Amino acid sequence: MALAVFVVVSLCSTNAIFSQRRSNAAALPPSRSLTITTEPNASIWIDEIRRGVTDASGTLEVKKISAGHHTLRLRAMGFKEVTMPLLAGRRSLAVKLARSTDQAELAFQQAEDAREKARDDASRQKAAELYRATLKLRPAYPAARVGLARVLLDLNQYQAALDEIEAARRTRPVYAEASAVEGRINREAAFTDEALRSFRRAIREAHGFQPEAHVGLARVFEDKGQYEDAILEFRKAIDQLSDSEPVIYQLLGAAYERVQKYKEAVAAYEEYLALAPNGSLAPAIRSIIDQLRRDAAGQEIIP
């Protein structure tokens, strides 16, 4: 739904990987950090990748922004959402948001907040109701349609979710996020060919930059037993996500295990632990790394 230099792990098991990473890093443009100051608890996206939420003082340091121009999007409850160009070389940026009186926008913000916090079907149903209230105020609101489709997907209401994607496209025909979500719906509904078409369309619509679709393609390839193809797609997603989604490293590590590339699996899992040492998957990952290192050492001594 990809990258930074791997953390130090056992040299005997990962030396070749680090050599390749250094070679790749030398070919990439330099990155920088950016400190954004705006309203407290504001969500920040760069090139449609969510990079975090500002703290109580309204500040967020976004790390690892590549050279060149980018697009910045900011959203805070009760304020007008802002999308603006992010010029090359900026190290700090202050953005003053204006209060919103747009009832549809305010309802959409509540729906998005409810969806992000939902942990069970009851809370997901509440988020769906908030999206529907938004759409009553503004039927032509493609972002609300896609948000509702995501909730319906989580509720296993696949056809209703696809209907919302279709409605979003009537207002916004070229919509990479909608195509990526459509791909996820089709995969969950076991429509494999349709999922592949949706994910590939999302990547075309986004001119190649669509990590959610790359992850989706990888999961479909896993379903089909095409693990080398899945690895390629996971790595593309990682390169685009700027380490904002550590779980992709876990998925990559599992794919490497399936093709018995144990050194690469260890490196991927170590990167997950470096980014999310207290993550929900961390205990399980720590428990298998030693075994993978032994497996990798065994591969090296086989004549």
With bands split at pLDDT 50, 70 and 90, how would you rate the model's confidence at 65?
A: confident
Report the CATH number that the domain containing residue 87 is assigned in CATH. Answer: 2.60.40.10
* Residue-number span of the structural domain to which 56 is assigned: 29-94
Q: Which of 64-68, 130-134, 215-219 has the lowest mean pLDDT?
A: 64-68
Q: Tell me: pLDDT of 274 over 80.
A: yes
Q: Tell me: pLDDT of 2 over 80.
A: no
Cα 248 from Cα 268, distance rounded (Å): 9
Q: Is 63 inside a domain boundary?
A: yes
The pLDDT tens digits of the residues spanning 153-206 come to: 999 999 999 999 999 999 999 999 999 999 999 999 999 999 999 999 999 999
Strands ordered across the beta sheet of 82-86: 49-53, 43-46, 70-75, 82-86
Q: Is 90 inside a domain boundary?
A: yes
Q: Is 73 inside a domain boundary?
A: yes
Number of domains in the chain: 1
Q: Is 40 inside a domain boundary?
A: yes
Q: What is the pLDDT of residue 30?
A: 58
pTM score? 0.85
Q: Tell me: pLDDT of 22 over 80.
A: no
The pLDDT tens digits of the residues spanning 241-266 come to: 988 899 999 999 999 999 999 999 99
Strands ordered across the beta sheet of 31-37: 59-66, 31-37, 92-94
Mean pLDDT, the chain, as a whole number?
89
Q: Tell me: pLDDT of 301 over 60.
A: no
Give the mean pLDDT of 37-48. 95
Q: Is 276 inside a domain boundary?
A: no
Q: Is 69 inside a domain boundary?
A: yes
The residue that leads in pLDDT, 299 or 33, is 33
Give the mean pLDDT of 26-30. 48
Q: Is 101 inside a domain boundary?
A: no
